[in-house]
Structure 1
């Protein structure tokens, strides 16, 4: 049975998307080399309407400035591309189906989105670790990151997506159940 470990909290939750992205760019040398010259115009209304919820502003800001990338050939951060928002939605729905079929533990309160507070995937590792939002809270900026490692460990991080990636890459976050992350970036 899967055990829910604990919750990690940052010393200070970064709420400004630009500040969070700057922290990620500091944590991953070379990431800024792949930054778009101008932010991409993404159809967030289409994505959010289809999902039935708004998404966290730090994630949206990251997606506007960066294409999909891998961190350390380990974590794939899938981001929408202009004109390909439907593909992102298919990927999310596919990931949700996998969560329902093989990962979620209803007796621990781990339910898929759109259940109240349900989990909504945003990334995964090459070892099938899952990175999701717990969609509880009045606004997406309050959502926490939930991690499900392939080894069965589940845990929460009380910060945003981009801050989570930054702290994981710089080593200030305990990688419970995850392997250490090499802070190199590969565009996909």
Structure 2
């Protein structure tokens, strides 16, 4: 995966993906994780999403401007909603330092100064506001293949 993307991924994401290869919040927000044996397909899908992210970045009027990965600090997708919103990493620093950026279908952009697991925890417990998103229920669904 690292060779295909050209970067390592955050350790908290790798642990999350290992335990929950299929993770959905409120039947709307899907965390896109590489399924075992399908890692290269996940890389291709992630790289394909960068074209859409690039178009969104061109339309954004942020200061500083946002750019898609592999630009320095560029945005790399890790999740989406069924409404067309994107959840991305801002790839500044090492992967362990990457933070979360949210781009809504309605044109809102916001940043969360923390990693994916911290963000998702706050999203579910209500301490992270769902600013600019349609209401997403915070019920978690998915599979942990290590639990019976």
Please confirm whether the aligned pair reaches a TM-score higher than 0.5, indicating the same fold.
yes
Say whether 1:135 aligns with 2:91.
yes
* CA distance in 2 between partners of 1:77 and 1:147 (Å): 13
Cα contact 2:4–2:40 (8 A) shared by 1: no
How far apart, CA to CA, are the structure 1 residues paired with 2:30 and 2:43?
A: 16
Query: Which of residues 104, 113, 121 is equivalent to 2:57?
Result: 104
Residue matched to 2:146: none
Is the CA contact (8 Å cut-off) linking 1:146 and 1:155 kept in structure 2? yes
Query: What's the TM-score, normalizing by structure 1?
Result: 0.70
- Distance in 2 (CA, whole Å) between partners of 1:157 and 1:120 is 14
Cα displacement (A) at 1:180 = 3.1
Return the alpha-carbon distance in structure 2 between the equivalents of residues 170 and 62 of structure 1: 17
- Following superposition, the deviation at residue 99 of structure 1 comes to 1.2
**Unaligned runs of at least 5 residues, structure 1:** 1-46
**Aligned counterparts of 1:72 and 1:126: Cα–Cα separation in 2:** 10
Q: Secondary structure at the match of 1:146?
A: strand
Distance 2:114 2:135 in 1: 19
Q: Which runs of 5+ in 2 are unaligned?
A: 144-148
Is the CA contact (8 Å cut-off) linking 1:168 and 1:181 kept in structure 2?
no
How far, CA to CA, are the matches of 1:91 and 1:165 in structure 2? Answer: 22
Counterpart position of 1:49: 3
Write the distance in 2 (CA, Å) between the matches of 1:114 and 1:84.
22
Deviation at 1:163, TM superposition (A): 1.0
**What's the counterpart of residue 69 of structure 1?**
23
TM-score with structure 2 setting the length? 0.88
Structure showing greater radius of gyration is 1
